[in-house]
Amino acid sequence: MSGWGRAALAAAVVAGVSACGPAPATEVDNSTTAAATSTTRAPRITDDSGRPDVTFDPCLDLPDDVMTEAGYDAAHKEFADMPMGWYTFLGCEYTKTDRVPGVRRGYGLNVLSGNVTLDEELDKNGHIATTTQINGRPALRELGPTGDDECTYALQTSFGLVFFNRLYNKDHTGPVPESEWCAGMEAFLVTVEPYITD
């Protein structure tokens, strides 16, 4: 199946780039992150769609210490932006290397902030989505949007959605139980949701 949400998430998961020509993922200079979190910062990327500007930038607005405490390698986060012309995704890639031999090698996390709506996401992925809330914020929980071993939460904002897409990197042959795909995600999101500005 095709669709903007799935295409953007698949591109971020696979390579941090999109067939539509966004810039390749690059490592973030963490020395400038603190200064870049000003609420008056202009969006790094805009589009000509007439949609709202994406005002939450995951690589700049999620505090490094919060992500590090959650086990993600904030020192090596990478931009994974997807300027599409008719909508925009600002992305950030993280890794979590909490290896359990024979179980998992860790997780890959892509955070995508985009100016698409919750209704649009429901139209595209409603067949795999469950409505929920994170700290009272309307959200969707999606299992396997681009394949097995994957969990996505889409949190509503005034400009659109922030997607948290996590890939379980298994350390064994055979399937990962579906019950493990989203294990611990909601607790993590409760911690980071307050940093989403909208």
State how far the Cα of 7 lies from the Cα of 11, in Å rounded to an integer.
6
Average pLDDT over residues 11-19: 35
Lowest mean pLDDT among 21-25, 109-113, 166-170, 171-175: 21-25
Query: Residue 113: its pLDDT value, please?
Result: 95
pLDDT of residue 85 exceeding 90: no
135 lies in some domain: yes
pLDDT of residue 22 exceeding 60: no
27 lies in some domain: no
Q: What domain range is 53 assigned to? A: 45-195
Is pTM beyond 0.85? Reply is no
Q: Cα–Cα distances in Å, from 122 out to 11, 46, 47, 88, 99? A: 20, 24, 22, 18, 34
Query: Residue 40: its pLDDT value, please?
Result: 54
State how far the Cα of 53 lies from the Cα of 107, in Å rounded to an integer.
30
9 lies in some domain: no
Q: What single-letter amino acid sits at 80?
A: A
List pLDDT tens digits, range 118-162.
Answer: 999 999 999 999 999 999 999 999 998 677 889 999 999 999 999
- To the nearest whole number, what is the mean pLDDT of the chain? 81
98 lies in some domain: yes
By the 8 A CB rule, do 43 and 59 touch?
no
Q: Can you give the length of the chain in residues? A: 198
Lowest mean pLDDT among 5-9, 75-79, 87-91: 5-9
Task: Specify the number of domains making up the chain.
Answer: 1
16 lies in some domain: no
Query: Residue 60: its pLDDT value, please?
Result: 94
List pLDDT tens digits, range 47-81.
Answer: 778 899 999 999 999 999 999 999 999 999 999 87
State how far the Cα of 17 lies from the Cα of 107, in Å rounded to an integer.
19
State how far the Cα of 32 lies from the Cα of 59, in Å rounded to an integer.
11
Q: Which are the contacts of 170, defined by CB distance < 8 A and separation ≥ 6?
A: 103, 104, 105, 149, 176
pLDDT of residue 17 exceeding 50: no
23 lies in some domain: no
Average pLDDT over residues 19-46: 50
**130 three-class SS:** strand
